C-alpha cells in the first residue's frame, strides 16, 4: 500500500510541475502579448472604419430611342472608346440628311445671288460707258444748237435747220438722262442682290449648326466607354426604349484608380501628416499588407457633410468623438485585387 501511495505522490508532483511550467509559459506569453500590444498602442494610430473607394460614374443617354445592340457584359473590363451599346439611329440619320439638303439649297441660293450681283455689276459698267457716250453727244448737240442759234440770228441759217438742231439736242438730253437712270437702276439692282446675300449667309450658318447638331445626335447613338474601367450591373435590354438623360450603366474608373478613405477619431489626428506612409489590410485579404500614403485630411467631420448635420443647440447633447475622413493613396498595381466598397483597416505610425 505504501508503494501505491508513493506512486500517486510522484504522479502528483509531475502533474504539478507540468502545470506550473504551462502556467509559466502562458503567463510569459500573455506578458509578451501585453508588451507588444502596449508598444503598438503607443506607436501607432489605427482604425477599422475604412473603405476602399473608386470613381463609379453613370453612363447616361445623350439621345432618346430604342436600344439596338448591347456589346458589354456585367463586370467586363473595357477600354476607353469601346462600344458599349448602339441606339437605333434611323430617325437621326433622316434629320441629318434633311439638314444637309437644306444647307446645300441655301448655298445654291447664295451662288445664284452672287451671279446676279456679278451680272448687275456688268450691266452697271455698260451703263456707265453709255453715260460717257451720251454725255459726249449731248455736249456736241449743245454746241451745234449754240452755233445754229447764232447763224439763225445772223440770218445764215433757216428756222427749219434751227428746229432740227433743237430736236437733236432734246434727243441727246433724253438719251443722257436715260443712261443716268439706267446706271442708277443697275446700281440699285447690285445693292439689292448684295443685301439678299447677307440673310442667306446667316441662314447657311444656322443650317450648318443644325447639321452639326444632327451629326452629334447620330454619333450619340453609339455609346462608348469614357475611359478604361470595369462595367457594373446591367439593367437594360435590346429593344428597350430609353430617354434623354437616362442612366444606362455604371462604370468603375480604372484610370484614376482606387484609394482608401479612413475615418479616424479627432483625437487621433494630431500625429498625422500629409505624405506619411500607412499600412492597409482588408477584411477580404487580411494576410495581404498594402502600403499607402496620406493624400489629404477632410476640412470637416463626416457628420458635417451629412444631409442633416447635428444641431447641439437643441439641448440633447452627448459628447462623442467625431471622425475625420482621411484620404489615402494606394499602389493600384500592388492592389489590383481590391474592389470598391471593401472594408479595410488602416495603421498609421505616430511621429
The ranges of the chain with pLDDT < 50 are 1-3
Pick the closest to residue 84 from 309, 274, 250, 264 (CA basis): 250
**C-alpha dist (Å) from residue 79 to 62, 219, 224, 250:** 20, 18, 9, 14
Nine-digit cell string for 312? 447641439
**From CA 350, how far away is CA 276, in angstroms rounded?**
10
**From CA 23, how far away is CA 192, in angstroms rounded?**
114
CA 230 centroid distance within chain: 20
CATH number reported for the structural domain that contains residue 194 in this entry: 1.10.287.620
On whether both 133 and 247 belong to a single domain, the answer is: no
In this structure, is residue 176 part of a structural domain? yes
In this structure, is residue 159 part of a structural domain? yes
Pick the closest to residue 271 from 200, 336, 208, 351 (CA basis): 351
On whether both 81 and 181 belong to a single domain, the answer is: no
Range of the domain at 115: 90-220
Identify the domain boundary among 197, 220, 243: 220
CATH number reported for the structural domain that contains residue 245 in this entry: 2.40.50.100
Unique residue bearing C-alpha cell 447633447: 317
Number of independent structural domains in the chain: 2
Do residues 302 and 324 touch, judged by C-beta distance below 8 A? Answer: yes
Q: What is the CA angle 227-52-319, rounded to 5?
A: 135
In this structure, is residue 82 part of a structural domain? yes
In this structure, is residue 268 part of a structural domain? no
Identify the domain boundary among 177, 205, 220: 220
On whether both 120 and 152 belong to a single domain, the answer is: yes
In this structure, is residue 195 part of a structural domain? yes
Which residues, in sequence order, are CB contacts of 60 under 8 Å at separation 6+? 245, 246, 247, 248
Pick the closest to residue 162 from 316, 105, 154 (CA basis): 154
pLDDT of residue 2: 47
Pick the closest to residue 292 from 350, 348, 254 (CA basis): 348
Do residues 49 and 323 touch, judged by C-beta distance below 8 A? Answer: yes
**From CA 128, how far away is CA 56, in angstroms rounded?**
75
Nine-digit cell string for 304? 458635417
Amino acid at each position: 500500500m505504501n508503494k501505491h501511495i508513493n506512486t500517486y505522490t510522484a504522479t502528483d508532483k509531475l502533474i504539478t510541475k507540468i502545470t506550473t511550467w504551462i502556467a509559466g509559459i502562458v503567463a510569459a506569453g500573455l506578458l509578451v502579448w501585453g508588451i507588444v500590444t502596449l508598444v503598438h498602442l503607443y506607436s501607432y494610430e489605427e482604425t477599422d472604419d475604412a473603405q476602399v473607394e473608386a470613381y463609379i460614374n453613370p453612363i447616361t443617354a445623350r439621345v432618346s430611342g430604342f436600344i439596338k445592340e448591347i456589346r458589354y457584359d456585367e463586370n467586363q473590363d473595357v477600354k476607353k472608346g469601346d462600344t458599349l451599346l448602339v441606339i437605333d439611329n434611323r430617325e437621326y440619320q433622316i434629320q441629318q440628311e434633311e439638314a444637309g439638303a437644306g444647307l446645300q439649297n441655301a448655298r445654291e441660293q447664295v451662288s445664284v445671288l452672287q451671279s446676279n450681283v456679278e451680272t448687275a455689276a456688268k450691266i452697271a459698267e455698260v451703263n456707265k460707258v453709255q453715260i460717257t457716250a451720251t454725255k459726249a453727244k449731248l455736249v456736241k448737240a449743245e454746241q451745234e444748237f449754240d452755233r445754229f442759234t447764232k447763224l439763225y440770228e445772223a440770218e445764215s441759217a433757216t428756222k427749219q435747220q434751227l428746229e432740227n438742231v433743237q430736236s437733236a439736242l432734246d434727243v441727246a438730253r433724253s438719251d443722257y438722262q436715260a443712261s443716268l437712270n439706267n446706271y442708277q437702276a443697275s446700281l440699285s439692282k447690285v445693292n439689292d442682290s448684295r443685301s439678299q446675300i447677307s440673310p442667306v449667309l446667316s441662314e447657311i450658318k444656322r443650317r450648318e449648326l443644325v447639321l452639326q447638331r444632327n451629326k452629334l445626335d447620330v454619333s450619340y447613338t453609339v455609346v462608348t466607354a469614357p475611359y478604361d474601367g470595369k462595367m457594373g450591373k446591367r439593367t437594360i435590354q435590346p429593344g428597350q426604349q430609353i430617354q434623354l438623360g437616362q442612366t444606362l450603366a455604371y462604370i468603375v474608373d480604372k484610370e484614376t484608380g482606387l484609394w482608401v478613405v479612413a475615418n479616424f477619431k479627432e483625437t487621433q489626428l494630431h500625429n498625422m501628416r500629409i505624405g506619411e506612409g500607412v499600412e492597409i489590410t482588408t477584411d477580404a485579404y487580411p494576410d495581404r499588407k498594402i502600403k499607402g500614403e496620406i493624400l489629404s485630411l477632410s476640412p470637416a467631420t463626416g457628420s458635417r457633410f451629412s444631409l442633416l448635420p447635428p444641431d447641439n443647440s437643441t439641448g440633447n447633447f452627448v459628447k462623442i468623438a467625431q471622425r475625420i475622413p482621411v484620404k489615402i493613396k494606394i499602389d493600384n498595381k500592388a492592389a489590383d485585387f481590391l474592389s470598391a466598397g471593401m472594408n479595410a483597416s488602416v495603421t498609421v505610425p505616430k511621429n
